Amino acid sequence: MAENLSGKVIQGRYRLEERLGEGATGEVYRATQISVDRKVAIKFLHPFLQETSTFAERFKIEAKAMARLSHPHILGIHDYGFDDGSGLFFMVVEFVEGYSLSDKLKEGKPATDFTLRVVYQVAEALESAHRNNILHRDLKPENIMISTLSPRPVAKVLDFGLAQLFDDESEDLTATQRRKRLTQTGEIYGTPAYMSPEQCRGVHELGVESDLYSLGVILYEMLEGKLPFYNQIPTAVMLQHMNDPIPPMTADLDDELLMLVEWMLNKDPADRPRGAGQVLDVLRNHIILDMSQELRMPDADRAGAIRHMNDNSGSWSRERFMPPISEILESEDPSFIELASGPEKTTNWGVVIGSSLAFLLIGAVLGFFAGLNVENDKELVSDVPSPSEAEIAVAEPTEPDPVAEPEPEEVPEHADSAERDGLDRAILIAASATGLSQQAGAGKNSERKSKSKRRKKSKRRR
């Protein structure tokens, strides 16, 4: 496409700002959706490819494939159509602030934690695509964008231009006929450095294992710092994928990661993982360890988290212990550490002994103040005046009913002097209070009897 379309408006809705790049099938522009002032990317199909219905139909299939998918690690599509002004098919997609994985690899081998996060997220994207009956068929670093809007790497899979829809049918053609029409005999599509052996042989009926092989090549390249097979002649690279064993890896890696790479790069599709979920099950182990270290979890707590996830079963289950990894990776909240069982709790005897001594001290203080209150009560009782002789003489003398004196409680021999003094004071107060109540009752009875006798004498005189 010779003409630069920057500055033009497409269908009165999208203003083209800048040309970002050009590929084998078209050009990509940064644009603005005028109605909502949203930054988007617009891909145009090359004019010379529109002359054949095959490429125009592929472009439409790419739009349909992306429209089926809604996933945080797959580029979202907003619109698709044909612009009469430019005479071009176009596709409006999500704009990603960031860089391509291929640009990252040009800087050298990335850190292992970066690699594991990116490959994990791409595997999640593939799992979603495969679940929706879509094969990517051209997975490579150029088709993986890394967003810079998050402190952690967030991958976006794009360019489903060679996607295969398992159940895609037209009105007149069966799915098999449609695929044969789009991929003629002898035609091989893809990028040789990342193509699966069956894809290199020109097999039309590919399975999900082909995408997983391509992801395995990316994983190998990121961990090792170079491609497993490289040659300037594309057919030579394709022959290597079909026939040559994978070169041994020299990176210092966990055995489980080395076995995963070998598993994904098997020549026979039947010997590879059966789906992206199996790749995720292996990677999750190492992703969790990495996140624990990033959050500076103590070694004991990290070991507890691993014990919790393993559940003493030695096997991994995605649903057993955690939500999807994407929600964690993008979250700033480290509350997932609560998954860890942590180190076993031990009794802190210092706290126990200190608490006991504190209770004893509080009890002693309360006992001291209780003793002071008893002494005050004793003084109050002694100050109560007893009935005078004149008051007693007014009433005829009557003997009050005998009341048994309360027997003092026995004080254990082993009790200390403070306890015996406290008991004696309590008994003395009780006895004094009883005597006063008896005297007051006797005085009231005598007064009632004397009044009764006076009334009787008054009646007799009348």
Tell me how far apart the alpha carbons of residues 47 and 453 are, in angstroms, rounded to a whole number. Answer: 138
CA geometry: angle 136, 141, 142, nearest 5 deg: 85
- Residue 45 tokens read as 């199909």
Which of the following is catalytic: 79, 84, 113, 138?
138
The identity of residue 317, as a single letter, is S
Q: Exposed/middle/buried for 7, CB within 10 Å: 0-12, 13-18, 19+?
A: exposed
**Strands laid side by side in the 26-33 sheet:** 9-10, 14-22, 26-33, 38-45, 88-94, 77-83
Write the DSSP assignment of 237-285 as a string of letters.
Answer: HHHHHHHSPPPPP-S---HHHHHHHHHHT-SSGGGS-SSHHHHHHHHHH
- Look at residues 270, 209, 213 and name the one whose alpha carbon lies nearest to residue 238: 213
Please state the length of the chain.
462
**Which phi and psi angles does 162 have, rounded to 5°?**
-105, 15
Tell which phi-psi region holds residue 108, choosing left (phi > 0), alpha (psi between -120 and 50) or beta: left
Cα 162 to its chain centre, rounded Å, is 35
3-state secondary structure 26-78: EEEEEEEECCCCEEEEEEEECHHHCCCHHHHHHHHHHHHHHHHCCCCCECCEE
- Residue 203 tokens read as 């097999």
| Residue 295 DSSP symbol | T
**Is 138 among the catalytic positions?**
yes
Please count the other Cβ atoms lying within 10 Å of the Cβ belonging to residue 458.
9
Please count the other Cβ atoms lying within 10 Å of the Cβ belonging to residue 121.
29
The Cα-based distances of 1 to 58, 84, 86, 274 in angstroms read 18, 16, 11, 41
The residues carrying an active-site annotation are 138
